Every structure is written in structure tokens, then in C-alpha cells.
Structure 1
Amino acid sequence: MSKSLHPSVIKFKEFVKNNPALIKEVRNGNSTWQELYEDWYLLGEEDNRWETNGVKTSPSAEKTDEKKGDWMSTILGTVQKMDPDQIQHYINNLSQALGAIQGVISQFQGSQPKQAAPRIEHKHPFSFRKD
């Protein structure tokens, strides 16, 4: 029994067959198949990354339309190109905005203040006797 491969894996195999420079890159230990597949999936065949490896890119209308339709790969590609400090800044802003929204919601809920249980205070927490 042979398992059928995912269509994107089949397309990646075709891409590798058309570009033997990628095989040499993996054999030389410069990268792994997993890294190449992830870059190919996220960036597409027309990315500048493939030109550095001597890969021949052939633009086609079908691939461009498919790339535009795949919003997840577009988002992941954008996040991958972003500066980590910039991402941290956006996350902090989002956290502050969520905190403000939670504060407004709690004001409108009309939550009643909790009454604290009366505390019994002892003058001396330990009872020691002098001998």
C-alpha cells in the first residue's frame, strides 16, 4: 500500500526535479529538506531566495493566483519577514488594548464590590507565658 502525498509535497518534488541546485545544497549540508520545503511553501517559487541557489524561476499566472488565494501562507510570510522587536511592540499594544476593553466591560457589568470577611486581629499572634 502506498500512501498518497499531499498535493503541495508533489509540487515541491517537481520544483526540486526542475532545480538540481537544491539537491546539491542539501547534500553539502547547507540546509535540510524541511527548511527548503517550508521556504518554498511560505515564500513561493518566485522568491529571491531561490535565485541565490541558482534556481530557475518561471513565473506563471496560475501560481500567482494560487498564491494570492492562500491567505495563510501570505500571513506567515509577512510575519517571517517582520522584525522581532516590531512584533513584540505589536503584541504589547494588543495586550494593552485588551486590558482596556476588559476594564470597560467590567465597568458596564455593574459588578458589585466584594465585601471582605471581617478579620479578627489578635494583639499577639503567639501566646507565650513567662515562667
Structure 2
Amino acid sequence: MASKKNHPSVQQFKEFVKEHPKIIQEVRKGNKEWQEVFEDWYLLGENDVIWNQYKEQPAEDNSQNTESKTDFMSSIVSAMKNMDMNTMNQHITNMSSTISTIQGLFDQFGVSKGSKQSNSGTGQSPFSFRKD
């Protein structure tokens, strides 16, 4: 007879979980167990304040953005853990030497930030400036 009384409550609990999909996520992540959730639901009822955090809200985009940012940051942190720092240092050194070489080429051919106009025309600036 006890199993017949439990069946309607189990059905109600299933409907409750469908209305609160974040509970499923918590259980799958391992933060909670179904038995614990069922006991809380049975003792506290459906209208308790603790269930508000598990409801699907219309402004779900903000929480998904926050969750995706958290996922993104955790993926970056895990990538940093897997990175070989010696290899990274070698790549940074190579990039630095490449940039230095390019700057040296610009200096050798007389190309600088402000000399775009001096290359066109006669090669002389229309203004006379003296170097000190």
C-alpha cells in the first residue's frame, strides 16, 4: 500500500523537476543527489524560496552569458595549465626578434611613422625644419 501512496508524489516531483530544469543540471554536475532534492522538495514544498534559483527564467540569456563566460575562463585556465612555458617563451622570443628585424628594415630604408608624405613628390618637405 505504501508504494501506491508514493506514486502520486513521485509524479508530482517529476513535474516539479520539469518546471525547474536547473535541478537536473545540478544533479548531473554532482553537486546534489536526487534523494537529497526529493527530500527537500517533500519537506519544504514546491513554493519554498530555495527553488527560485532553479527555475527557468525569461532572462535566461544573462545567466547563460555568465555561465558561458565562466566556461570560457575555465577553458583558458585549463589551457594555461597544459601549456609548456619553455615553448611559450621561445615563441615570444622569436616574435620579439622578428619585430626587431622589421623595425631595423624600416630604419634602414628610412620609413618611419611621420614620413608617409616625404616619400611622395620631390622627397623634400615643404616646411623647413632644422635638426638640433
Per the normalisation by structure 2, the TM-score is 0.37
More helix, by proportion: 2
Highest CA radius of gyration, 1 or 2?
2
Per the normalisation by structure 1, the TM-score is 0.37
